[in-house]
Amino acid sequence: MKKLDDFTKCIIIFVLGFALGVVLTICFNMQYSSPVENNVVIDSLTKTRDSIKIKVTQLDSIKNAKVVEVSTLDNDSTLKLFYELVSK
């Protein structure tokens, strides 16, 4: 088996040490991430979801009001609505 010279040994030790340092840094950052930061992200996502639900509810109520309005039209008001829509 061929022996490695001193320079090659130094390079290998340096690369292994650097890789170990990177792995330890990643593990340390994952282990000590703040739960407060995670809660802030979850809270902002919850607020966004709730605001979207409110907008959908408002759109549903507007749609239901329009359906009631259209369903109560008689023939004359239907023609007026048609002409109004066509003129726009």
Same domain, 63 and 80: yes
**What gap in Å lies between CA 46 and CA 53, rounded to an integer?**
10
**What gap in Å lies between CA 28 and CA 65, rounded to an integer?**
57
Instruction: Provide mean pLDDT across the span 72-79.
Output: 69
Q: Structural domain of residue 6, as residue ranges?
A: 1-32
Same domain, 46 and 88: yes
Same domain, 11 and 22: yes
Count: domains in the chain: 2
Same domain, 28 and 42: no
H or E segment and range at residue 57: helix 35-71
**What gap in Å lies between CA 12 and CA 19, rounded to an integer?**
11
- The sign one gets for the Cα dihedral 36, 41, 47, 49 is negative
pLDDT above 80 (res 11):
yes
81 CB-near residues (< 8 Å, 6+ apart): 70, 73
pLDDT above 80 (res 30):
no
Same domain, 48 and 86: yes
